[in-house]
Structure 1
Amino acid sequence: MMTFKTLLHREWMQHQTGWLVLAGLPLVIMLLALPFGGVHMDGGESATDVVLVISGGYTLLVTLMAWMAVSFQATSLARRDQQDRSIEFWRSLPVSDWQAVGATSLMHLLLVPLVVMLVAAVSAVLVALLVVMRLYGAAALVDLPWLSLIAAAAATVPRMVLGVLLAAFWAAPMLMLLMLASTWLKRWAVPVVLAVVGGGGAILKYAYQQAWVHDTLGDLAERFLWAMIPLGRDGHRLDVEQGPASALAQLPSWMLEDGLRVLGDVVTPLGLFAAVFAAACFALQVQRRRQFGA
């Protein structure tokens, strides 16, 4: 266990500057832009509406930026120890290949988006309150329904944590495939995988009427977005017509129901496929790493 924690700490030491910039730069930009930039709304929004929209939108945007960053970075991770010739050093230590691959995958594909999301959620509150002050004045902060907002936050943050965990689950098949491909193809991994999966899927779909490749990719992407963004499905919508007070009252139970829905998506044939495929890519990556050090 200590070895695994040390490997996680290694990832932090190597990439901490980029991750801190990723988590903190959007807030810095907002703080610098708000005093000078204009904030335009339609005119019918209340201060509570602004808090909900700004805080939710900011958190989701920054979290999706984190997913984009780790996705671009994923393909360079699998061959890192071979490229910098540190594989011999790690071979001299009691570090198994599955621990090395597992720590790298866990840190980049799960922990980084999760931490960035939590930092963004805290930053979003500050940004939302500053926007309210800019639009309605400081006195509007006193009139906000603070107890309802706190209850909504207490329900939303666990739902978003669950969303990041499930998003990592649905993204794992494609990201682990790219990491595996990079152990053989290096920088050509992304174009080759996209060409094979995308082009091969198109040939199957249009030449042989077999759309299962594109359908599977579309379903994985859809489940990823459902996990990340509480969109509501099957007519399950938050009623906002009665005003912000009614929406806030509904939010805790609505978030719980939506969380159960996205959690239930895992217990499906698609969820089984995602788990088995990602596990297979992980196992092959471990085997490939053993060949690096042989």
Structure 2
Amino acid sequence: MNTMKWLLRREFWEHKGAFFWAPVVVAAALVLLMGGGYVYGLATTDMANIQVDGTHVASIQGIPHHVRGRIADLLASGYLGAAAPLFIMLPVVVFFYCMAALYDDRRDRSILFWKSLPMSDQETVLSKVLTALVVAPMITIAVGVASSLLLLMIGLVGAAAKGLNLIAPVLADGNLYLSPFYLFAFLPLYILFALPTVGWLLMVSAWARSKVFLWAVGTPLVAIVVLKWVDFIIGRFANLSLNVDWFVEEVVARGLLGLLPGIWLADLDNSSLAQMDGHLNGAILLAHSYTALASPGVWLGALAGAAMIFAAMRLRRWRDEG
């Protein structure tokens, strides 16, 4: 356990810029641009032409009480949406980290030093898996929650200065405090769906002698082209089909896009969520998301990802050339 702790620290120290400073910089830019834009808008916009439920009100102070309650509930339930750019950046960072995780050690031959230490290949690869699937998402969530809360505070103070005081109802809303926990509750789902991608990238990183990106991304794309061509030939002369679309959706898409947060929603019937409009909150979305675990494809993909991670461990045992 102590070895794993130091291996995780090593991964964080070596990639601190990507895992920590990049989210912090993006979050600071969000606070500066969105918060500054909001304050500037409040300071310069004429508030005498406000329309609420199709009716014009004389000023921001004239917004009806029940509308204020809806606004407060919306802010308390959806303030973490401001951190969306961070969760868009997360899969990009983790994708390139996994591609280079085992290849860079062989390229600069530092693998010879690390193999001289009392740590196994299994522990080394597992530390990279945990960094990609747990450490990086948790850092992103923490930075996203902090920046979203700061933006919410700016918005509440700015609105109060204009006469719309929503601080008390927002602070009294339970969703304000539960929303960060909802994000952490999505982490097991994220891990299951990301396992095939992380496993594939680490296996290629442990195997490829060069051009890791071309092997990791190009191989599935070339396979699609070849299968499409074979499917066309077979369909032309034998009136048969290889069902290439299934291969694209269930193998290639899951293998390359599994790091995208919320990708499990693509496999679900989301019509009930669309009908809820403003009543949707984190608890409902969380419960709906976990219904994705009823699909056998989720578990088969996770098993395939675990198998590829095991293959990466075995490959690292003997693939130590530069």
Query: Which category of TM-score, normalised to the shorter sequence, fits these structures?
Result: 0.7 to 0.9
Rounded to whole Å, the distance in 2 between the matches of 1:48 and 1:100 is 47
Rounded to whole Å, the distance in 2 between the matches of 1:194 and 1:5 is 32
1:51 partnered with 2:52: no
Rounded to whole Å, the distance in 2 between the matches of 1:293 and 1:72 is 21
In the alignment, which residue of structure 2 is the partner of 1:172? 195
In the alignment, which residue of structure 1 is the partner of 2:297? 270
Alpha carbon RMSD of aligned pairs, Å? 3.4
The residue correspondences of 1:129-278 to structure 2 (distance < 5 A) are 129-134=153-158, 137=161, 140-149=164-173, 151-205=174-228, 207-208=230-231, 209=241, 210=243, 211-216=245-250, 217-218=252-253, 221=257, 224-226=261-263, 233-237=270-274, 239-240=276-277, 247=279, 251=281, 255-278=282-305
Rounded to whole Å, the distance in 2 between the matches of 1:53 and 1:25 is 25
Rounded to whole Å, the distance in 1 between the matches of 2:180 and 2:269 is 17
Cα contact 1:173–1:278 (8 A) shared by 2: yes
Q: CA deviation at 1:206?
A: 6.3
Cα contact 1:22–1:116 (8 A) shared by 2: no
Rounded to whole Å, the distance in 2 between the matches of 1:174 and 1:155 is 30
Pick from 142, 145, 170 the counterpart of residue 121 of structure 1: 145
Rounded to whole Å, the distance in 2 between the matches of 1:109 and 1:156 is 21
Query: Quick one: which amino acid aligns to residue 87 of structure 1?
Result: I
Larger radius of gyration: 2
In the alignment, which residue of structure 2 is the partner of 1:61? 85
Give the TM-score normalised by the residue count of structure 2.
Answer: 0.73
Query: Quick one: which amino acid aligns to residue 127 of structure 1?
Result: L
In the alignment, which residue of structure 2 is the partner of 1:90? 114
Rounded to whole Å, the distance in 2 between the matches of 1:214 and 1:269 is 17
Q: CA deviation at 1:182?
A: 2.5
**Between 269-278 and 97-106, the greater mean CA deviation after superposition:** 269-278
Which stretches in structure 2 are left out of the alignment for 5+ residues? 53-66, 232-240
Cα contact 1:180–1:282 (8 A) shared by 2: yes
Q: CA deviation at 1:13?
A: 1.6
**Between 119-128 and 25-34, the greater mean CA deviation after superposition:** 25-34
**Aligned residue pairs: how many?**
282
Identity %: 18
Rounded to whole Å, the distance in 1 between the matches of 2:209 and 2:51 is 53
Q: CA deviation at 1:138?
A: 6.4
Query: Quick one: which amino acid aligns to residue 298 of structure 2?
Result: G
Rounded to whole Å, the distance in 1 between the matches of 2:179 and 2:134 is 19
In the alignment, which residue of structure 1 is the partner of 2:55? none
Give the TM-score normalised by the residue count of structure 1.
Answer: 0.80
What's the secondary structure of 1:265's corresponding residue? Answer: helix
User: Alpha carbons of 1:43 and 1:219: their partners in 2 closer, same or farther (altered >3 Å)?
Assistant: farther
